[in-house]
Amino acid sequence: MNALTTCYDPHTQYFSPRTSENFKINMSLSLEGIGAMLEPDFEYTKIVRLIPGGPAARAGSLKPGDRIVGVGQGPQGKIVDVVGWRLDDVVDQIRGPKGSTVRLEIVPADQTDTHQTRFVTLERDTIKLEEQAAKKKIMTVKRGGLNHRIGIIDLPAFYSDFDGMRAGKSDFRSTTRDVKRLVEELKLAQVEAIIIDLRDNGGGSLPEVNALIGLFIDRGPTVLVRSTGGRIDVQSDPAAGTVYDGPLAVVVNRLSASASEIFAGAIQDYGRGLVIGQQTYGKGTVQALIDLMGDKDTYGQIKLTQAKFYRISGESTQDRGVTPDIELPSLIDTKTIGESVVPGALPWDKIYGINHRSYGDFKPYLPELKKRHQGRMNHDADYVYLNASLKLIDEVREQKVVSLNEAQRLKEQARLKSRRLAIENARRQAKHEAPLKDLDDEDKDEPEIKDTPPEEDFILMESGQIMLDLIEMLKPDMQLRKAG
């Protein structure tokens, strides 16, 4: 079915019942189960990680590396052998309604004899998927002998628990609720500016992005939606007041799409903040989920493109995305990734914009901001490293002829590896780190850090510097306004 639908539009897709359920989980950031992340391990299903606070973690009877070989439903249900099963089928057996019981037969991680199993009984519960939720950090940026505090809100997706909202739950999960709470916490911490990090955020709920924009503006239109019949619906923030009216920036990259582009575009059009990073993906279409035969649990759903959205300026984000006020380099190639290279994608167009308030005009400040930014970059080790890496990647991409001679190919690979090593060691030397003898040593010397401090993120650190530049440049104007 998807082979047919994508002939007309790349974003119209069939969702099987299982895909539909996973989509709902991703949007609500919750599921009902035992709270264990699983992966296939040859014919077995292996536990990779236990989600903190979930039934599996609370019980203390399971650990990463344990292999699940059987699943039973209820206190007395027969244990079904799941060795050799698809991972999705095993997951279906383990998930279930909150309060119900599931029994697992496992081979402990430290057990080499797969016949030596033990049984674990767990009561299913609601699991909160916190990893995809909005998070805050405070980044310290040094300047002039002072430490400046910049608030960072990392937003991986625009999520909302639609079922919880429809059921009237007072504590249903949503992007706007989470971000509002985080902004209030950052205000209490007296940060000098806030950066919304939308890198790799592929979008999500349209109502949520509309509500999120409302946290930073005082009423007004947020996005225009044009249906296939030509009708234009103006979505607005109806709430008076703002949650935060201080210095604001939005960081994006090529993988920031859809709802991310609506947010970045609105902040830019209102003059509410700077957009920093890379040209965004360019997905400017709206999809709706339609239950097939009125029964999604049996037949699944169709995700159907039914409208296009436009910035309040009237410009579409389709195909072209959002162009940042200040561009930063990225290893993501805009020539091969983005809506503009997707077959069958709709073209860019423009409609009449809508009147809206302007909170500021950053255009007069952009030349000086870019000049200061470039001045820092000329001496920044990470920036020099990134540009050198991009230059090498472009050179490799432009090679149209590849030798089929094995000895020649080995020489070419050795030269390439030598250049990559030289680029890496130049960065290390500039940062007073020990050089590598071989690129393979990098993984040994530097184990993966799951939660990288923002001070070690080049893009965030430079965004923080840009915000301090802007604050410094705006001070005289703000003092004049106060005096007047």
Contact 218, 243 (CB under 8 A): no
What is the three-class DSSP state of 402?
coil
- Find the catalytic residue in 125, 154, 161, 269: 269
Question: 258 catalytic, yes or no?
Answer: yes
Count helices and strands (H / E) in the chain: 14, 19
**Looking at 180, 283, 296, 308, which residue is catalytic?**
283
Residue among 397, 151, 355 nearest 251 (CA): 151
Residue in 211, 231, 230 with CA at minimum distance from that of residue 222: 211
d(CA 16, CA 1): 10
Amino acid at 45: T
Residue located via tokens 């703002």: 242
SS3 labels along 317-334? CCCCCCCCCEECCCCCCC
| Identified catalytic residue from 258, 313, 316, 463 | 258
Tokens at residue 372, please?
């200061």
Q: What are phi and psi of 209, to 5 degrees?
A: -70, -35
Q: Would residue 92 show up in a list of annotated catalytic residues for this protein?
A: no
Q: What is the separation of C-alpha 52 from the centre of its chain, rounded to a whole number of angstroms?
A: 21
Rg (CA), the chain: 26
Closest by CA position to 354, among listed 222, 217, 227: 222
Q: Quick check: is 161 catalytic?
A: no
Query: Which residues are known catalytic residues?
Result: 258, 269, 283
